[in-house]
Chains A and B, each alone.
Chain A
Amino acid sequence: MDFATLGGNLFGTIPFGDIVLYLTPFNLFLFAILLVFTIIIAISNTETQVEATFGSLKNTNVTVGKKEFKQRRILSIICGIASAGAMITGDLFNFTLFMALVGILNIGIVSSVKQVSVLDSAFNYGLIAMMCSLPLFGGAAIILAATGTLSLSILSSMPASPMVIFGAVLILLGVLGESGVAPFFASKAEMFRTAGSPFLVIIHLSSLFIIIRAVEILLLVLL
């Protein structure tokens, strides 16, 4: 499928060497929204959770320490920028690299939490993120071998062979695992069940946006 049918008119390109970022209204809109959210997250404070305790009338506050707060903030800002980059990239391999970066940052954001259940599911998500590098990069490599290019604008005008379809399915599986969509949601959903909300929201937000972008990329490659 063509760029213009999916994303609207092409405003321009940003070349990084031979890797070209495309600016269409669709991609720019996603990019801008993610940047706005990243700014909101960067200037906000964390929430405090109040937990009722069993068997007594006491409540316990679950707060985030200052050091932990700073580490989470920098990681979530980078996570926001990385997912914003994935929105406007015009290169298949670049997209998979952004996806891998978002995955590792998601683990980093919850890595300093002191709740065993959260750390357990973060570990499980880490296992998936590690496995995902095979379908993500392997899919991109298979598409490169089949078509001889990784640029989305060239790929969008090429017909899809069975090999390209297989590569695209591999990338789809990688994106599904890495962004924690059903049926692989449990480890990622359990991961942000802790205090410190605005920073944890970026975990959720980045996967949502990347799924949208992945669907666009798959349509470009396949149709």
Chain B
Amino acid sequence: MRISRLWNKLAKPKNIPRLFAFALGILLIVGFVVPFALNIDQIYIRPAPQVQIDDGMSVAPYARGGDILKGPGITLAQFPENSPDLGWINSYLTPLAVWVSSVTPYFGTSICASPGGIIDEILYYTRGFDTILESTILMMAFMIASWLAVNYTANRKNQKDEIKKDVKKAIRDSNKVASEVRINDIKARNKQNRREK
């Protein structure tokens, strides 16, 4: 392939996500041959998942110990001078999460505890500033979506032509559905009649 053609293909926005996905896929396949080994010397530690399950904790793989605002959990400080301030709300759960964990012993492994679920806060309270950033990302996404919904999707007062068009389309669609229902009705009745004969 001539290189000018390649450049032209790269200039189309539609091709870019595909190219990126391809590059990412290649890199992830390369990842299979990279030697992976977990370094035991971690700072965000917790008891091993099996140990937690054997202890019967309902938040099993995520438990980081501690009593909220009474005793710190198990968090090693990156810098020893910060260690007295860390881990005080490690085990905080929202009221909803507390309720779910009281109902089932498998809360930690259920879908509502997966990253992004209602147990997420346990992971992030070990790392202060990240909590703020995470929720900022979510808030921005909601802000953009709600602004668009309020100003474009829901606000159609000034687009009379489009509303008329949509009403006509709705009438047409409902007529179509009604006639389909009627035809099916007749078919079903004929079948019934035939069976009764």
Residues of A that sit less than 8 Å from B by CB: 15-20, 67, 71, 75, 78, 82, 91, 93-94, 97-98, 100-101, 104-105, 107-108, 111-112, 120-121, 124-125, 127-128, 131, 134-135, 142, 144-149, 151, 154, 162-163, 165-166, 169-170, 173, 177, 183-187, 190-191
Contacts and interface: CB of A to CB of B under 8 A. Distances in A.
B10 to A, nearest CB: 5
Nearest to A142: B36
Given A71-B147, A183-B19, A169 B27 contact: yes
Interface stretch (B49-57, B77-85, B102-110, B165-173): B77-85
A184 B133 contact: no
Interface residues of B, number: 50
The A interface is mostly helix, strand or loop, or mixed, namely helix
B24 A135 contact: yes
Given A18-B86, A97-B133, A124-B16, A162 B128 contact: no
Interface string B1-40: 0000000001111111101110110010011001111111
Interface stretch (B64-72, B135-143, B175-183, B184-192): B135-143
B152 A94 contact: no
9 contacts: A18-B79, A18-B86, A91-B129, A94-B129, A104-B141, A142-B36, A145-B36, A183-B10, A187-B13
A142 B19 CA distance: 24
Given A108-B140, A170-B27, A124 B14 contact: yes
A163 B35 contact: yes
The B interface is mostly helix, strand or loop, or mixed, namely helix
Contacts of B147: 71, 111-112
Contacts of B10: 183, 185-186
A63 to B, nearest CB: 16
Interface of B: 10-17, 19-21, 23-24, 27, 30-31, 34-44, 75, 77-79, 82, 85-86, 127-130, 133-134, 136-137, 140-141, 143-144, 147-148, 151-152
A112 B13 contact: no
B90 to A, nearest CB: 12
Contact of A128 (B20, B40, B44, B148): B20
B89 to A, nearest CB: 11
A109 B108 CA distance: 38
Nearest to A149: B43
B188 to A, nearest CB: 44
A183 B85 CA distance: 45
Contacts of A75: 140, 143-144
B17 A128 contact: yes
A17 B152 contact: no
